[in-house]
Amino acid sequence: MSAPVLRVQGLGKRYRIGGPAQRPGHLREALVDMVASPFRRLAAKRGTRAAQEEFWALRDVSFDVEQGEVLGIIGRNGADKSTALKIISRITPPTTGRIELRGRVGSLLEVGTGFHGDLTGRENVYLTGTILGMRRPEIDRKFDEIIAFAGVEAFIDTPVKRYSSGMYMRLAFAVAAHLATEILLVDEVMAVGDLEFQKKCLGKMDEVARGGRTVVFVSHNMAAMRRLCERGLLLERGRVAAAGPMAAVSDLYVRPGREQEEGARFNPRDRRGTGWARVTNMRILDEDKEPVAARPCDADLLVEVTIEVAGGAAAGSSLRGLVVELVVCSDDGQPLLSLMNVDDTGVALPDSRACRVLVRLPGPTLVPGRYGINVFVGIPFLQHVDEISEALAFGVLPPVEPWRPYDLHPSRGLICRKAEWSCSDVLSRAAPAAREAS
């Protein structure tokens, strides 16, 4: 049996939080360090310097990847999937463990990784290929195909610093996917670009996998992971929580589990808007109006949203006239359902500076798994007052009283509803008419 093309053994990555700063590696860092050093010395005299702490982003991670295999690495935000890829691609060194690579490695870890902003698209294609160890004739053979895939023919001789983020991403992916590397590392390529480009990416990844190249793929898009990857690796808090067939590992990932209580908390970190009014809390409630982390899929889904006028707003400010929208998303961020307080008869926000809104979605609601809610407060297309992505995560559990003989599974859709069915025997009605005609 041939040796794996990628072997990771006991991989660990440690960061130090606080404590002495590392020595500057560039002139700009040295100048900043020189300016900041008097303030650090003063803080040290006062005893206010932060204590040094250790944080292990990865701990004892081991896996093998065979020639031509497509491995998917999944996990929630903060599981340090991207850190693992950066170590494998030699961008950052490991603290412990070792990595064995057999073949040239191409990586697409961030938008335009390795591109130089002052160089044109054409120059960056050749520069990246040269860094990967390719000769000019090899790059020449692929050049037209790369530019056609990226769709930047008209701007190929323009410095890439003038590209939009979408153009940058298309060219970066095209270079990584088309140049002849034995191992390809891809991190969240589906997160940037329009729908048409994402479909092209999936098609190219399929082609790369069928062509015998080895791919390590990180994404939150479970549909893409199930389609592309034979085997999966689940990371939790920097450790391997599960490994095996991608379908089984992804099911374990989306299933509500021991992290439900943490996931059900209101998280306003990703907040945008004018801010004169704000969502101050969101909760999932049960029938007794008590906060919970998950609800059975055959029960009503109740979401409570608390909105207040910010302290610095004008004294006469009121919530009246504002629209509240909740967008329920799958665990990989795909929007599934939009709910607005102005739907149908709706309910208006009061002429006051604070209120609680209760939204009830009758069951059955969603297939068991993990979901998130984005919240918007404002006037659509005119004023975004408060907008929070992934404001609340929650779980959906199996039904208390199952109504079908088969399991509810994400492969058949994420929305589960009951429909009214009827059936009539068309042939028996047609038979008398046929006899009369004869």
Comparing 53 with 183, the larger pLDDT belongs to 183
Give me the pLDDT at residue 27, please. Answer: 52
Asked if 198 and 269 sit in the same domain, the reply is no
Continuous segment of H or E residues that includes residue 323: strand 323-330
Residue 227 scores a pLDDT above 90: no
Please check whether residues 213 and 148 belong to one and the same domain: yes
Q: Which of 202, 225, 254 is the last residue of a domain?
A: 254
Residue 262, pLDDT > 50, answer no
Same domain as 286, residue 207: no
Does a structural domain hold residue 425? no
Give yes or no for residue 250 having a pLDDT over 90: no
181-185, 190-194, 321-325, 327-331: range with lowest mean pLDDT: 190-194
Let me know whether 217 and 363 are in one domain: no
Asked whether 108 and 189 are in contact (CB, 8 A), the reply is: yes
pTM above 0.75, yes or no: no
Judge whether 216 lies within some domain.
Answer: yes
- Running DSSP on this structure, what letter comes out for residue 208? H
* 313 pLDDT higher than 60: yes
User: With bands split at pLDDT 50, 70 and 90, how would you rate the model's confidence at 353?
Assistant: very high
pLDDT at 123 over 90: yes
Examine the fold and report which residue of 254, 270, 300 is the final residue of a domain before the chain moves on.
254
Residue 256 pLDDT more than 80?
Answer: no
Flag whether pLDDT at 268 surpasses 70: yes
DSSP-derived pairing of the beta strands 301-309 and 354-361: antiparallel
CA dist., res. 55 & res. 306, Å (int): 35
Query: Is the domain of 313 the same as that of 359?
Result: yes
Q: Which position has the higher pLDDT, 205 or 116?
A: 116
Domain ends where: 213, 238, 254? 254
What was the pLDDT predicted at 48?
A: 46
Task: Give the span between the Cα atoms of 335 and 387, in whole angstroms.
Answer: 15
Q: pLDDT tens digits for 154-202?
A: 999 999 889 887 788 788 878 877 877 788 888 876 555 566 777 777 7
Q: What is the pLDDT of residue 49?
A: 45
State whether 46 and 131 are in the same domain. Answer: yes
> Span 353-370, mean pLDDT?
92
Domain count, the chain: 2
Tell me: pLDDT of 399 over 70.
Answer: yes
- Domain residues for 347? 261-412
Question: For the domain that residue 383 is a member of, what is the CATH number?
Answer: 2.70.50.60
- Distance CA(265)–CA(129), nearest Å, equals 46
The answer as to whether 428 is a domain residue is: no
Pick 173 or 351 by higher pLDDT: 351
Whole-number percent of the chain with pLDDT over 70: 82
Do residues 168 and 267 share a domain?
no
Question: Do 118 and 57 belong to one domain?
Answer: yes
- 430 occurs within a structural domain: no
- Alpha-carbon gap, residue 310 to 319, rounded angstroms: 11
Residue 155, pLDDT score: 92
421 domain residue, yes or no: no
Q: Do 182 and 160 share a domain, yes or no?
A: yes
What number is the average pLDDT over the span 357-366? 93
CA–CA dist 154, 160 (Å, integer): 12
Q: Check residue 306 and give its pLDDT.
A: 96
Instruction: Please report, as a single letter, which amino acid is at residue 119.
Output: L
Domain identity same for 134 and 195: yes
Looking at the domain assignment, is residue 433 inside a domain? no
Q: What is the pLDDT of residues 68-120, one digit of tens each?
A: 888 999 887 777 888 888 898 888 899 999 999 888 887 777 655 668 889 99
The confidence band for 40, taking pLDDT boundaries of 50, 70 and 90, is low
Query: Between 212 and 58, whose confidence is greater?
Result: 58
Question: Is the predicted pLDDT of residue 220 greater than 90, yes or no?
Answer: no
Asked if the structure places residue 418 within a domain, the reply is no
- 225 shares a domain with 78: yes
In a domain, 273, yes or no: yes
What is the residue-averaged pLDDT of the chain? 81
Range list of β-strands (E), 83-131: 96-101, 105-108
Kindly provide the b/e burial profile for residues 312-335, where b requires at least 16 CB atoms within 10 angstroms of the residue's own CB: ebeeeeebeebbbbbbbbbbbeee
The answer on pLDDT for 31 being more than 80 is no
Same-domain status, 309 and 217: no
Answer for the pair 83, 57: CB distance below 8 angstroms, yes or no.
Answer: yes
Query: To which residue do tokens 């400010």 refer?
Result: 317
CATH code, 25: 3.40.50.300
